[in-house]
């Protein structure tokens, strides 16, 4: 299978082929997602919550994002790798934003970056695109604005959401993540904009879907948003494995002769 490009995703929208996206944060899981035929692997700043155990995504740094993106890139042969720009790496000024975005491509092997925001970041998106950096936008429930939103709230201002979608598309984004918005609004945006929409908590009419890996594999030990679904139980499997290993050590059945040197 040929590797996935940003233009390939636009073609998938035109053909009505659903785009499958997932987050991953390290080499083994990136390799498995790639092997399973996932189209887009996002190295999400959600790693702050599901990998680092922090209470939100705000503390995640550029250095950490580049480290995880490098690990993911090494595991991928086909999927499009997108680096998620962390809080404060693109908000303060456009020049710094372009420089930080470029590092994902220059140092970490990503093919594109994602950033949160609509009309307010359209100038930043334009500058990145002008620099040759493909940008995925992210509107609706934007977790880096958790304090401004007063929590992780579903976003329902249709006029604002539709305007944000058009503004980021006009600025040159190759795709938009729609997070935590009513399905009818996501459907309208998907029909109105020329670029593919990737939904999470945005209904079935988006051009594709994304989920946080730890949620879909059953590795999320904290709060599960209503919009996620567990497709496997790696928490249960992991507990089984750790307990079986512990039992074997305690009863002396591991290591056996096959795992020992005479
Ligand atoms: N494990 C995980 N999964 C995610 O999808 C995810 C993260 N972490 N971390 C970053 C953000 C935060 N996300 C969240 C977290 C909580 C809700 C939540 O509590 N939503 C309420 C909706 C409340 C309303 O109706 O406004 C819900 O009931 O689902 C939503 C998205 C999505 N992202
Ligand atoms: C859930 C996706 C869209 C994300 O931004 C992340 O994982 O950080
Ligand atoms: Mg994110």
172-219 tens-digit pLDDT: 999 999 999 999 999 999 999 999 999 999 999 999 999 999 999 999
Of the residues 114, 152, 211, which should be mutated to test ligand 2's pocket, given the most ligand atoms within 8 Å of the CB?
114
Q: What is the CA angle 111-215-30, rounded to 5?
A: 35
C-alpha of residue 180 to centroid of ligand 2, in Å? 11
End-to-end CA distance of the chain: 47
Q: Does 247 lie in the same domain as 210?
A: no
Of the residues 40, 179, 181, 209, which should be mutated to test ligand 2's pocket, given the most ligand atoms within 8 Å of the CB?
179
pLDDT computed for residue 144 by the predictor:
98
| 116 in a known ligand binding site | yes
Q: Does 175 lie in the same domain as 257?
A: no
CA–CA distance, 218 with 240 (Å, rounded to integer) = 14
| Percent of residues, the chain, with pLDDT higher than 90 | 98
Task: Report whether 197 contacts 173 (CB < 8 A).
Answer: no
Predicted ipTM?
Answer: 0.95
Structure pTM?
A: 0.97
Question: Taking the CA of residue 243 as centre, how many other CA atoms within 13 Å lie in the half-sphere pointing to its CB?
Answer: 6
**φ, ψ of residue 192 in degrees (nearest 5):** -85, -30
If one counts the domains in the chain, the total is 2
- Ligand 1 atom closest to Cα of residue 227: 29
Q: Is the pLDDT of residue 1 over 80?
A: no
Q: Does 255 lie in the same domain as 133?
A: no
Instruction: Report the b/e string of 65-104 with b at 16+ CB within 10 A.
Output: bbebbbbbbebbeebbbbbbbbbebbbeeeeebbebbebb
Tell whether ligand 1 has an atom less than 6 A from the beta carbon of residue 138: no
Chain segment 102-145, per-residue pLDDT in tens = 999 999 999 999 999 999 999 999 999 999 999 999 999 999 99
Q: Does 73 lie in the same domain as 175?
A: yes
C-alpha of residue 261 to centroid of ligand 2, in Å? 47
Q: Is 85 helix (H, G, I), strand (E, B) or coil?
A: coil
**Mean pLDDT to the nearest integer, 22-41:** 98
Of 139, 117, 140, the closest CA to residue 128 belongs to: 117
Task: Take residue 2 and report the two structure tokens written for it.
Answer: 């040929």
Q: Is the pLDDT of residue 73 over 90?
A: yes
Confidence of residue 230 (pLDDT cuts 50, 70, 90): very high
Catalytic residues: 179
Domain that holds residue 258: 234-262
pLDDT computed for residue 2 by the predictor:
74
Confidence of residue 57 (pLDDT cuts 50, 70, 90): very high
Tell whether ligand 1 has an atom less than 6 A from the beta carbon of residue 147: no
Residue 174 lies in a domain: yes
pLDDT computed for residue 257 by the predictor:
94
C-alpha of residue 138 to centroid of ligand 2, in Å? 9
pLDDT computed for residue 60 by the predictor:
99
Q: Does 244 lie in the same domain as 216?
A: no
Residue 1 lies in a domain: no
Secondary structure element (H or E) that encloses residue 102, with its range = helix 94-106
| 251 in a known ligand binding site | no
Tell whether ligand 2 has an atom less than 6 A from the beta carbon of residue 44: yes
Q: Does 176 lie in the same domain as 144?
A: yes
Q: Does 247 lie in the same domain as 198?
A: no
C-alpha of residue 183 to centroid of ligand 2, in Å? 18
pLDDT computed for residue 58 by the predictor:
98
Q: Does 239 lie in the same domain as 139?
A: no
**Adjacent-strand bridge partners of 143:** none
């Amino acid at each position: 299978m040929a590797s996935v490009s940003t233009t390939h995703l636009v073609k998938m929208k035109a053909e009505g082929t659903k785009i499958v996206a997932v987050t991953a944060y390290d080499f083994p899981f990136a390799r498995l997602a790639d092997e399973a035929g996932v189209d887009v692997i996002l190295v999400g700043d959600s790693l702050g919550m599901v990998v680092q155990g922090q209470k939100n995504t705000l503390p995640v740094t550029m250095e950490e994002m580049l480290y995880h993106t490098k690990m993911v890139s090494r595991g991928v042969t086909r999927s499009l790798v997108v680096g998620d720009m962390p809080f404060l790496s693109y908000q303060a000024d456009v020049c710094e934003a372009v420089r930080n975005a470029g590092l994902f491509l220059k140092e970490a092997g990503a093919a594109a970056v994602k950033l949160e925001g609509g009309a307010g970041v359209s100038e930043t998106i334009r500058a990145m695109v002008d620099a040759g950096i493909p940008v995925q936008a992210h509107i609706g429930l934007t977790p880096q604005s958790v304090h401004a939103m007063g929590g992780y709230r579903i976003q329902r201002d249709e006029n604002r959401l539709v305007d944000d979608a058009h503004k980021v598309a006009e600025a040159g984004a190759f795709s938009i993540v729609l997070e935590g918005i009513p399905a009818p609004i996501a459907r309208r945006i998907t029909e109105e904009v020329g670029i593919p929409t990737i939904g999470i908590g945005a209904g079935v009419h988006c051009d594709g879907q994304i989920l946080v890996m730890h949620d879909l594999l059953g590795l999320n030990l904290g709060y599960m948003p209503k919009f996620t679904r567990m497709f496997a139980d790696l928490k249960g499997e992991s507990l089984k494995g750790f307990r079986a290993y512990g039992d074997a050590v305690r009863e002396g059945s591991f290591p056996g002769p096959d795992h020992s040197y005479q």
